[in-house]
Structures are given as structure tokens and as C-alpha cells.
Amino acid sequence: MADRWGLKGDGIVYLDAPACPLWSPGLRRYTCAGREAAMRSFFGRVLAERRKTFFSKLLRLPRIREIDLIHAHFMGWAFEVAVPLGRLLNIPVTLTVHNGEMPKRRESELVYLQRNATRIVHVSRAYLRIWAERTGSSDRLTVVPNGIDLSEFQTGFVPREPRKGLKIISIARLVPEKRVADALVALARLRRQGLEFEYVAVGEGPERAALELLTRQLGLGDRVAFLGAVPREAVVRELCTSDILVHPSETESFGMAVAEAMAAQVAVVVARSAGPRDIVDHGVTGFLYEPGDIEALALYVQLLARDPALRRRFGELAYARVLERFSWDVHMSQMLDIWHDLLPAAPGAAAVPDIPLDTGRIQTS
């Protein structure tokens, strides 16, 4: 990946924490800061010793001292590495929170991150509110939506070739919360009403066998294809040759598949979960419906199926919305604004206050 993006190899520092020995002679492991970075109350004695070695080795790498700011792209990395390292180096730490992470984390961990990270980025307003409700504060929280690489979807601007039926697509992991079964049931209803279509499900997961069985039970075996996990190029190709994206998921912190479909000028029918509410303007750039409302899902697909002009209008307005709010340029501009605001105060700034974990609420592993 570094080669692909033209990054210099000597600018990359990699240290595998699990490969670090339990003990090393580094003096930094004996300091108060080293003991705090080990987080023994959370990780337990054995893992804490390995963490001391990990951080001692990191601090001996010359390039580490050149760092001005740390950004962690997931809560786990922020909690385990970024915040402790930021405290050791006395530099700002920012992090981006993504779907599925928050429910797995204890409230005390969220509080720890919020008090010790300089800024916490959420990808939707809904998930920022959920975090603030759990911690009791919105301090240091902000929203920056995910970015879309628009160059991948240029083929989406080519008029779609006329075909006998519609091509409908879903892109999602095959897990219960994505509710792909809702799409199958809705499409079975539409087929009985005479709608001609092919449905492509891109993604893999533990529900695949059950969904394939449901497909046969609904009499959709000749209309549905489960492609599984396919290369990125194939995902883009399937999306850009589709007419409608159906996204029934009940939990999305952002909704990358939805935004990418909009970038490809594909009309979207999306369950109204947290992230998509920020992405889709109902009736303007797509249709939103309440998760699990199969009747509404079928109705909106039918409306789009009958009206090619509406599909085109949704696609054009959706692309304009992505260009304005969700492109990589917009995303990185917002992130750079955050980092530039933090960096001037970094040299010689006061150390982050020592705020320990609420160990009384955390089981030692």
C-alpha cells in the first residue's frame, strides 16, 4: 500500500506488539509513565509487561520523536496504543469512531478516551449524540463524515444500457443487522406483481447459507446472485452497472455503501438508521424507510422501477451531494482543519492530565 501511494518506506514505523517479549531491559519500562502506558488494571499483569516492552521499543525508534500528532482510526487502536503513546510523547491524539465499536466498549473506556484524546471524530451526528449520552458530555467531540474516492465511480456517469429488467444491488456483510432478508422478501412480493429484475448481493458472512435457502423458498433462485466477497474493482463494476441500491441495514454509523452508490449515480432505497439519515435527503437524493418496514421498502423500489426519470434525477442530485459533502477532498480538508488547530499548541504544551481508568468497573483480563 505504501508503494501504491508513493510513500517513502523510511517514513513508516511498524512494531508488532504481540511479538514483543514479556520483558526487556529498557529503562523506560520502570518509569511512572511506562507503568501508566501498560494499563495493568485493564490488561492484567502478563499483558501489561508485554505492553511495557512494546512502548519501550517504540520510544527507542528515532522517527517516533519526529511525530507531532497521532490519529487513530478506530477506538481499539486509540485505547490500546494512541492515547498511551500520546501521553508518553506529550503530543495531541485524535481518533475516528466507526460503526460497531461503541456498543462493545464499556462506558469507563469511552470516558477515558474522551478525557485523554484531544479530539474525537464521529462519522455521523447520531453517533456523536449516542457517545455524548453515554459519557454525559459532548466535550471534544466533532463530526466529520467519511470520504469517498469519486474517481472510482466515473463509469457511473455513463448512461446505463437499456435492459428488460432492473439490476438491484445490495453491498453488505451477511449478518443479521444488515437485514438482507428484508430485501429478498420485498423483491419476492414485487416479482409476484410482475416486476422484472435481477438482484445481486455483494458480501460474505455467516448468514449466507440461510439467505440462499430463503431465496429458494421465495422462488427467487433464477433472480438472485450471491457474489460473496469480491475484489474492489468488481464491487465498483457491479455498482456502476446497477439501477437501484437496496440497503436494509438497521445499524450504520455512516453507510459507506450508500454514499458510494450515490457517487455512482445509483438511486438508493435505504433503511433510516443513524448514518444514512445524514447522507440521504428523503425524496430528493433517495428514499428512506424505517428498518424492518418491508412494505415501504417494496413500495419505494416499485416507484423507482416504474420511473426511469426519477432514478436519473435521484442519481444526479445524489452525486452532487456526495461531491459537496462526502468526497475525500472535503473529508481531508475537515480533518486538516482539526489537526492544524491542535498543532500550534503542541510544542511545550502542558501534559495531558493524568486521568486513570475507572478500574472498579473493569474486569482484569
- How does pLDDT run across 325-340, given as a tens digit for each residue? 999 999 999 999 999 9
pLDDT digits over 166-200, tens only? 999 999 999 999 999 999 999 999 999 999 999 99
User: Residue 363 has what pLDDT?
Assistant: 28
Kindly state the average pLDDT of the residues 246-263: 94
pTM exceeds cut of 0.75:
yes
Helix axes 107-116, 125-135, angle to 10 degrees: 100
In CATH, the architecture of 9-147+328-361 is 3-Layer(aba) Sandwich (3.40)
Q: In the chain, where do the E strands start and end?
A: 70-72, 93-97, 119-122, 141-143, 166-171, 197-202, 224-228, 244-247, 267-271, 287-289
For residues 245 and 257, is the Cβ–Cβ distance under 8 A?
Answer: yes
Residues 6+ positions from 228 with CB-CB distance below 8 Å: 202, 203, 204, 208
Residue 128: pLDDT over 60? yes
Cα–Cα distance for residue pair 188/114, rounded to 1 Å: 47
CATH superfamily of this structure's domain 150-325: Glycogen Phosphorylase B; (3.40.50.2000)
Kindly state the average pLDDT of the residues 341-363: 48
Cα–Cα distance for residue pair 159/241, rounded to 1 Å: 9
Which of 9-13, 160-164, 222-226, 343-347 has the highest mean predicted lDDT (pLDDT)?
Answer: 222-226
Kindly state the average pLDDT of the residues 31-53: 89
Which of 64-73, 101-110, 220-229, 259-268 has the least mean pLDDT? 101-110
Average pLDDT of the chain is: 88
Helix axes 308-325, 294-306, angle to 10 degrees: 110
CATH 3.40.50.2000 maps onto the chain at 9-147+328-361, 150-325
User: Residue 352 has what pLDDT?
Assistant: 41
User: Residue 162 has what pLDDT?
Assistant: 59
Which of 57-71, 172-186, 243-257, 287-301 has the least mean pLDDT? 57-71
Cα–Cα distance for residue pair 168/187, rounded to 1 Å: 10
User: What's the pLDDT band for 70 if we cut at 50, 70, 90?
Assistant: very high
